[in-house]
Structure 1
Amino acid sequence: MAADSSYEKYEIRKRNPDPKTSALLVVDMQNYFASMAKPILNSVLTTVDLCRRASIPVFFTRHRHRSPTDYGMLGEWWNNHLILDGTPEAELLPEIARLASAEQVVEKTTYSAFRKTGLQGRLAEMGVEEVIVTGVMTNLCCETTSRDAFVRGFRVFFSTDATATSDPELHESTLKNLAYGFAYLVDCNRLRRGLFGN
Structure 2
Amino acid sequence: MASSLKKCSTYEKYEIRTRNPNPRAAALLVIDVQNYFSSMANPILPNLLATIRLCRRASIPVIFTRHCHKSLTDNPVLAEWWNGDIILDGTPDADLMPDLDSVRRPGEDVLLEKNTYSAFQGTGLEEILRKRCVEEVIVTGVMTNLCCETTARDAFVKGFRVFFSTDATATANAELHDATLKNLAYGFAYLVDCERLNQGLFGN
Same fold (TM over 0.5): yes
1:193 aligns with 2:199: yes
1:28 is the counterpart of 2:15:
no
Give unpaired runs (5+ residues) of structure 2.
none
Q: How many Å apart are 1:2 and its aligned residue?
A: 3.2
Report the aligned-residue RMSD. 1.1
AA partner of residue 64 (structure 1): C
The answer on 1:13 being equivalent to 2:17 is: yes
User: How far did residue 71 of structure 1 move?
Assistant: 1.9
Q: Count the aligned residue pairs.
A: 198
Q: Quick one: distance in 2 between partners of 1:67 and 1:82?
A: 9
Contact 2:72-2:86 within 8 A present in 1 as well: no
Show the counterpart of 2:92. 88
Tell me the SS of whatever aligns to 1:175. helix
User: Aligned pair 1:76/2:110, yes or no?
Assistant: no
Aligned-partner Cα distance in 2 for 1:162–1:77: 26
Percent of residue pairs identical: 67
Q: How does 1:1-198 map to 2 (within 5 A)?
A: 1-2=5-6, 5-97=9-101, 98-198=104-204
Q: Give the Cα–Cα distance (whole angstroms) in 2 for the partners of residues 177 and 2 of structure 1.
A: 16
On the 8 A contact 2:8/2:174 being kept in 1, the answer is no
Say if 1:194 and 1:123 are closer, same or farther in 2 by CA, change over 3 A: same
- 1:3/1:39 CA distance change after superposition, 3 Å: closer
Structure 1: where are the runs of 5+ without partners? none
The TM-score normalised by the length of structure 2 is: 0.95
Q: Deviations over 1:4-33 (max 9, x none)?
A: 831000000000000000000000000000
How much does 1:69 deviate? 3.5
